[in-house]
């Protein structure tokens, strides 16, 4: 199979899956909006729109991403969370930029000579390769911490249910297929001279280089497999514990903004819908 064919298969399956994901998200949002006190999140914070956007960004960075409360409570859990989330966000951002560059900018405009656009569709470009590698390594280390905490030395308060198991399987298959795809790609004939920037993937690929495998064909297959496994996991976000990535980030940001505005101040204000 060629890379072009693999891409076609990927998009044909990926787009309907993303449709299911959107349906799931709409369903979740429709449940949320059945609740009372539907204050517009856009109204939160004080000052101009720019000030509010600034406040939201600050809240995202300090609470959802850096999670100061977790930092104060438990360093190892914080590190686990930070590595997984940062790696995930980095890889998702790189995938998004890559798709934007490839499918929009380079597809519709004559920008092939603009290096800072073409670099995003060149996996071996030193910057792209390094950033992808850093993201992958962060997620993998975070995932290993996650496994150790949940299965090797679980604290007494931890409960592992089907939702947790699915999350582990989902993340595990994405990471594993990602590393296999990386090794296969680095052993194919499409690799450039700076492949070594993949500081984990490249040494790993050398270990398997001697195997008599059709690397070029496998590269296309692994592209499809890794991409579609990721899509399948994304589809389950609205229906699984993965949803906490979105809902948790929103809740922490809203709380931070409320506290900044003196509206919550860490207080818990009582019942929900009792009004005269």
Q: Which helix H or strand E contains 109, and what residues bound it?
A: none
C-beta neighbour count of 63 within 10 angstroms: 22
Q: Binding to another protein by residue 251, rule CB under 8 A?
A: yes
Indicate if the alpha-carbon torsion angle 153, 156, 157, 159 is positive or negative: positive
Task: Give the C-alpha separation, 14 to 175, whole Å.
Answer: 18
Smallest gap from Cβ 150 to another protein, in A, equals: 10
Interface pattern 98-137 for another protein (x via CB under 8 A): ----------------------------------------
Please identify, among the stretches 97-105, 133-141, 192-200, 242-250, the one whose residues bind another protein according to the rule CB under 8 A. 242-250
- Residue 135's CB is within 10 A of a number of other CB atoms, namely 21
Least Cβ distance, residue 35 to another protein (angstroms): 4
CB of 83 to another protein, least distance (A): 15
Q: How far is the CB of 161 from another protein (least distance, A)?
A: 7
Q: Which residue has the tokens 């495998």?
A: 213
Which are the contacts of 187, defined by CB distance < 8 A and separation ≥ 6? 205, 208, 209, 213, 215
At closest approach, how far in Å is the CB of 176 from another protein? 23
Binding mask 199-238 for another protein (x = CB under 8 A): ----------------------------------------
**Alpha-helix residue ranges (DSSP H) falling in 60-161:** 68-73, 75-100, 106-108, 115-118, 126-147
Least Cβ distance, residue 66 to another protein (angstroms): 11
42 binds another protein (CB under 8 A): no
| Residue 273, C-beta contacts closer than 8 angstroms, at least 6 positions apart | 36, 37
Nearest residue (CB) to another protein, 193 versus 270: 270
Find the helix or strand (DSSP H, E) in which 182 lies. Answer: helix 162-186
d(CA 78, CA 247): 18
Return the residues of window 66-95 that contact another protein according to CB under 8 A.
67, 69-70, 73-74, 77, 81
- Would you say 107 or 159 has its CB closer to another protein? 159
What sign has the CA pseudo-torsion 213, 215, 219, 220?
A: negative
Q: Taking the complex as a whole, how short is the minimal distance between the CB of residue 230 and another protein, in angstroms?
A: 21
- Would you tell me how many other CB atoms lie within 10 Å of the CB of residue 27? 12
Query: 73 or 93, CB closer to another protein?
Result: 73
Site string for another protein, 137-176 (x = CB under 8 A): ------------------xxxxx-x-xx------------
**Residue 178: how many CB atoms within 10 A of its CB?**
23
The residues of the shown chain that bind another protein, judged by CB under 8 A, are 23-24, 27-28, 30-39, 63, 67, 69-70, 73-74, 77, 81, 155-159, 161, 163-164, 239, 241, 243-244, 246-248, 250-252, 254-256, 264-276
């Amino acid at each position: 199979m060629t890379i072009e064919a693999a891409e076609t298969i990927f998009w044909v399956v990926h787009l309907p899956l993303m449709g299911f994901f959107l349906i799931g998200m709409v369903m979740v949002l429709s449940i949320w909006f059945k609740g009372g006190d539907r204050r517009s999140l856009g109204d939160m914070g004080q000052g101009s729109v720019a000030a509010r956007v600034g406040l939201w960004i600050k809240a995202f960075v300090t609470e959802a991403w850096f999670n100061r409360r977790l930092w104060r409570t438990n360093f190892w859990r914080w590190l686990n969370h930070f590595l997984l989330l940062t790696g995930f966000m980095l890889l998702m951002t790189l995938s998004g930029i890559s798709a934007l560059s490839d499918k929009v900018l380079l597809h519709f405009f004559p920008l092939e000579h603009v290096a800072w656009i073409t670099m995003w569709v060149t996996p071996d470009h030193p910057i792209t390769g390094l950033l992808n590698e850093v993201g992958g390594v962060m997620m993998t280390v975070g995932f290993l911490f996650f496994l150790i905490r949940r299965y090797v030395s679980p604290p007494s308060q931890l409960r592992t249910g089907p939702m947790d198991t699915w999350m582990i399987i989902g993340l595990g298959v994405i990471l594993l297929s990602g590393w296999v795809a990386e090794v296969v790609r680095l052993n194919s004939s499409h690799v450039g001279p700076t492949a070594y920037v993949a500081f984990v993937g490249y040494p790993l690929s050398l270990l398997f280089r001697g195997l008599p495998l059709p690397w070029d064909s496998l590269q296309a297959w692994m592209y499809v497999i890794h991409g579609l496994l990721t899509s399948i996991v994304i589809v389950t976000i609205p229906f699984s514990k993965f949803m906490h990535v979105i809902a948790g980030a929103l809740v922490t940001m809203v709380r931070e903004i409320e506290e900044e505005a003196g509206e919550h101040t860490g207080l818990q204000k009582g019942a929900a819908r009792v009004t005269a």
